[in-house]
């Protein structure tokens, strides 16, 4: 038993790592459903102030919000970023432990993370509470408790693509009475992404780079396969994801990685390890890998490539410049 | 004359111990109710509890959000902590008496690991049995705890006819390792989400459970406790050794089976609602025995009380020490439990040397 516990602890390091890296999921939403802004009464009014509004959240629940939420709390960093981007940051009265952007979040009361402080949340009584699927799956009773106490609870599904992220932004926009801003943010993100796509199309086939992404350091090297933001971003900049055969977050052995012969290595764990680039460059047996020979190992801000929020677009732009410095500058 | 005087004195001493243990439980309950990360005035707390239990309202100005804080979050949590601690400590006391081994606790015999495996399987396969709904996990955990017990018995039966103590412990450890290996396998196979859920669960916690979990553990706890408390004589007889027990007319085999079932009920339901919380079942009975002596008539009920109070206290620490974050309760029980247990062992040895 004791041995097992230590095994669990080992595994938990990986899991906690994953937890920090993804820093919570975010919403998935059906466009069609979110647009039901109480059509019967307010059909001719502007979307702003169109309360009451009914939104369908990430787990398919219909939540009716009677009036503009004056106070908002969020249990996941991506939602917090979205709320701030929507210009509703001054209404935030509670954030999760992992919310670190923008800087203003540092001054806001922390209300927990995976483990939420239910007493504290009830005593703060925000008008709107944004939670993640984890809370819904594990603590549905507690969420019902919040609702009974008059807190509107929106569950964010796990967004794994730009489209889903746009939907989440639109949903939070509707719920907070900032639909116009949400629309602008999404349009701007779409435009910037389209611009990158167009530029990337000029890259000739023979210059196409194979990129190896590392989201967990040695010895347990995790990478991102299909259905992840990193994969979508690499596709957008016309690069090849070395792990494109896989799906989701997967672990590779060093031998497998060396065989893939990546041209570029991107790490995302620079925020908790000193000089990840040097670590990669110094690895035994990697000397024949093109990325190592040409010293093309870069670390990018993890939050901009995994958090389903407005900063994803910054992530793509950073990646584009790192992988194709001649094309994007 | 002399004799009855001593007996009276002894009885008084036992009465005092019970009074102290009861006071400890009451004290921890009050402390845990009144002190937390969110401050609610004590009169409000009393008002809320009276209002919910009797329907009587005597304070008009209690803020609306304090009601659910106390009644739906804090109180069920305190009660659940008591139930889990009491169940684990009582089961530990029974296993230690039964196996005549100071290291025995719900983990040694494999019941905890079996229950844990059941719960983890539910998380991994996202099972939800229609009629059970959110109770799927606890009930599957109890069933798995039982199946594990049967497996241990089966193994013991196949290897020895006498259900020898060493064989039970050995079989328990083997089955326990096997169950643990499957849990590790499931963790390795799962995706990040499931991994997080399973690991949070394995840390052990009584937070965010609510009344539904209290309702779930209570019947098992009551039945399990009654079975064990009723069979204290068998435990006392077993202390003399099985042969001697047979000589004084105690049906050891039958008693053992009842005791094992009772203890498994307690362990299975405790693990099911709270995850894996170690050391309570190991340390508390030892502490109790230190004060009361080896008579199970007193060791069992006192372990129940002290174990419950102890877990209320550790849970209070776990939710206040780094609030609004929570420290996993299993971490605290281990941090407190391991040194205490070591001290007990050293003390035991020194004491023996003195008398020798």
Nearest to A119 among B74, B188, B196 (CB): B74
Tokens of B19: 């009074």
* pLDDT > 70? residue A11: no
Distance CA B171, CA B196 (A): 31
Bigger pLDDT: A297 vs B109: A297
Reported confidence tier of residue A89, pLDDT bands at 50, 70, 90 = very high
Give the tens place of pLDDT for each residue, A106-125.
Answer: 999 999 888 888 989 999 99
Among B80, B324, B333, the residue to mutate for chain A (most A Cβ within 10 A): B324
Is B184 close to A149, i.e. CB distance below 8 A?
no
* pLDDT > 70? residue B226: yes
What secondary structure letter does DSSP report for A110?
Answer: B
The count of C-alpha atoms lying within 13 angstroms of the C-alpha of A210, restricted to the half-sphere facing its C-beta, is 14
Nearest to A8 among B196, B199, B323 (CB): B199
Q: Which residues of B112-144 are buried (b: 16+ CB within 10 A; e: fewer)?
A: bbbbbbbbbbbbbeeeeeeeeeebbbbbbbbeb
Is B177 close to A16, i.e. CB distance below 8 A?
no
Give the tens place of pLDDT for each residue, B78-105.
Answer: 999 999 999 999 999 998 888 777 777 8
Q: Which of residues 9-38 of A touch B (CB under 8 A)?
A: 11-12, 14-16, 18-19, 22, 25
Reported confidence tier of residue B328, pLDDT bands at 50, 70, 90 = confident
**Any B CB within 8 A of A115 CB:** yes
Pairs of CB atoms within 8 A across A/B: 129
Q: How far away is chain B from the Cα of A2, in angstroms, using its nearest Cα?
A: 9
Query: How buried is B39 (Cβ within 10 angstroms: 0-12 exposed, 13-18 middle, 19+ buried)?
Result: exposed
* pLDDT > 70? residue A37: no
Tokens of A284: 């035994």
* pLDDT > 60? residue B180: yes
Q: Report whether B194 contacts B121 (CB < 8 A).
A: no
Mean pLDDT, rounded, for A248-260: 90
Q: What is the pLDDT of residue B5?
A: 61
Distance CA A25, CA A113 (A): 12
3 state SS of A20: helix
Q: Report whether A290 contacts A262 (CB < 8 A).
A: yes
Distance CA A316, CA A313 (A): 5
Query: How buried is A23 (Cβ within 10 angstroms: 0-12 exposed, 13-18 middle, 19+ buried)?
Result: buried
Q: For residue B86, is it left (φ>0), alpha (ψ between -120 and 50) or beta? A: alpha
Length of chain B: 356
- Which of A228-237, B4-13, B94-103, B201-210 has the least mean pLDDT? B4-13
Q: Report whether A143 contacts A131 (CB < 8 A).
A: yes
Q: Report whether A152 contacts A69 (CB < 8 A).
A: yes
Give the tens place of pLDDT for each residue, B41-91.
Answer: 888 888 888 888 887 777 667 887 888 888 888 999 999 999 999 999 999
Reported confidence tier of residue B315, pLDDT bands at 50, 70, 90 = very high
Chain A hits for B36, CB-CB cut-off 8 Å, are: 119
What secondary structure letter does DSSP report for A106?
Answer: G
Give the tens place of pLDDT for each residue, A257-315.
Answer: 999 999 999 999 988 888 899 999 998 889 889 999 999 999 999 999 989 999 999 99
Long-range contacts formed by A106-114: CB under 8 A, 24+ apart: A109/B324, A110/B324, A110/B325, A111/A73, A111/A75, A111/B324, A112/A75, A112/B324, A112/B325, A112/B326, A113/A24, A113/A75, A113/B325, A114/A19, A114/B196, A114/B200
The whole-model pTM stands at 0.81
What secondary structure letter does DSSP report for B172?
Answer: H
Mean pLDDT of chain B: 85
* Cβ count near B188 (within 10 Å): 12
Among A2, A4, A110, the residue to mutate for chain B (most B Cβ within 10 A): A4
Residue of A nearest to B108 (CA): A1
Q: What is the pLDDT of residue B4?
A: 65
Mean pLDDT, rounded, for B184-199: 81
Distance CA B206, CA B326 (A): 11
Q: What is the pLDDT of residue A249?
A: 86
Rounded to two decimals, the ipTM of the complex is 0.77
Tokens of A171: 């949903």
Reported confidence tier of residue B2, pLDDT bands at 50, 70, 90 = low
Mean pLDDT, rounded, for B264-270: 88
Is B197 close to A134, i.e. CB distance below 8 A?
yes
Nearest residue to B235 (alpha-carbon basis) of B215, B262, B216: B262
* pLDDT > 60? residue A31: no
CB within 8 Å of B107: residues ≥ 6 apart: A1, B113, B176, B278, B281
Give the tens place of pLDDT for each residue, A207-245.
Answer: 999 999 999 887 888 999 999 999 999 999 999 999 999
Nearest to B184 among A7, A112, A120 (CB): A7
Distance CA B353, CA B340 (A): 20
Q: What is the pLDDT of residue A125?
A: 93
Distance CA A74, CA B143 (A): 38
Q: What is the pLDDT of residue B342?
A: 86
């Amino acid at each position: 038993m004791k041995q097992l516990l230590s095994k669990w602890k080992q595994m938990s390091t990986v899991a906690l790592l994953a937890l920090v890296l993804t820093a919570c999921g975010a919403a998935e939403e059906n466009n069609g459903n979110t647009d039901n802004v109480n059509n019967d009464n307010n059909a001719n009014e502007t979307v702003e102030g169109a309360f009451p509004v009914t939104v369908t959240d990430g787990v398919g629940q219909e939540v009716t919000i009677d009036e503009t939420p004056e106070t908002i709390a969020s249990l996941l960093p991506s939602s917090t970023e979205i709320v701030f981007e929507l210009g509703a940051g001054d209404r935030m009265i509670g954030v999760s432990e992992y919310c670190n952007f923008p800087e203003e979040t540092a001054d806001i009361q922390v209300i927990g993370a995976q483990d939420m402080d239910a007493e504290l949340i009830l005593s703060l009584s925000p008008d709107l509470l944004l939670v993640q699927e984890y809370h819904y799956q594990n603590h549905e009773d507690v969420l019902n408790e919040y609702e009974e106490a008059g807190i509107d609870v929106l569950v964010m599904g796990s967004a794994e693509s730009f489209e889903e992220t746009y939907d989440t932004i639109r949903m939070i926009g509707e719920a907070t009475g900032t639909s116009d801003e949400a629309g602008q943010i999404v349009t701007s993100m779409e435009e910037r992404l389209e611009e990158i796509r167009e530029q990337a199309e000029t890259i000739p086939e023979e210059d196409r780079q194979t990129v190896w992404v590392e989201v967990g350091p040695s010895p347990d090297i995790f990478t991102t396969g299909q259905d992840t933001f990193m994969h979508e971003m690499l596709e957008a900049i016309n690069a090849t994801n070395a792990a494109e055969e896989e799906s989701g977050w997967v672990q590779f052995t060093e031998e497998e990685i060396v065989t893939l012969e990546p041209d570029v290595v991107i790490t995302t764990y620079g925020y908790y390890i000193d000089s990840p680039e040097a670590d990669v460059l110094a690895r035994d047996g990697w000397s024949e890998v093109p990325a190592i020979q040409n010293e093309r190992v870069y670390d990018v801000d993890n939050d901009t490539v995994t958090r389903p929020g407005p900063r994803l677009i910054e992530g793509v732009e950073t990646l584009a410049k790192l992988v194709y410095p001649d094309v994007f500058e | 004359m002399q004799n009855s005087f001593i007996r009276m004195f002894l009885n008084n001493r036992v009465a005092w111990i019970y009074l102290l243990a009861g006071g400890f439980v009451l004290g921890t309950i009050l402390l845990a109710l009144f002190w937390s990360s969110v401050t609610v005035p004590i009169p409000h707390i009393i008002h809320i509890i009276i209002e919910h239990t009797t329907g009587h309202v005597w304070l008009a100005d209690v803020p609306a959000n304090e009601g659910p804080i106390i009644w739906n979050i804090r109180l069920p949590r305190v009660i659940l902590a008591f139930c889990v601690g009491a169940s684990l400590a009582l089961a530990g006391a029974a296993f230690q008496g039964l196996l005549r081994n100071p290291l025995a606790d719900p983990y040694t015999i494999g019941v905890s690991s079996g229950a844990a495996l059941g719960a983890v399987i539910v998380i991994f396969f996202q099972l939800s049995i229609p009629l059970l709904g959110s109770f799927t996990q606890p009930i599957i955990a109890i069933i798995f705890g039982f199946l594990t017990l049967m497996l241990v018995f089966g193994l013991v039966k196949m290897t020895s006819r006498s259900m020898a103590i060493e064989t039970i412990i050995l079989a328990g450890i083997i089955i326990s390792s096997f169950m643990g290996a499957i849990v590790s396998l499931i963790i390795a196979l799962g995706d990040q989400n499931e991994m997080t859920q399973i690991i949070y669960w394995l840390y052990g916690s009584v937070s965010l459970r609510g009344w539904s979990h209290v309702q779930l553990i209570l019947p098992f706890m009551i039945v399990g406790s009654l079975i064990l408390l009723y069979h204290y004589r068998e435990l006392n007889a077993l202390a003399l050794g099985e042969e001697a027990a047979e000589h004084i007319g105690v049906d050891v085999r039958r008693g053992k089976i009842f005791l094992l079932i009772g203890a498994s009920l307690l362990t299975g339901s405790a693990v099911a609602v709270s995850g894996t919380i170690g050391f309570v079942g190991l340390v508390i009975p030892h502490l109790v025995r230190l004060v009361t002596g080896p008579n199970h008539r007193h060791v069992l009920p006192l372990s129940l009380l002290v174990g419950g109070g102890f877990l209320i206290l550790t849970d209070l620490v776990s939710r206040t020490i780094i609030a609004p974050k929570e420290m996993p309760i299993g971490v605290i029980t281990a941090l407190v439990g391991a040194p205490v247990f070591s001290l007990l062992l050293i003390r035991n040895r020194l004491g023996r040397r003195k008398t020798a």
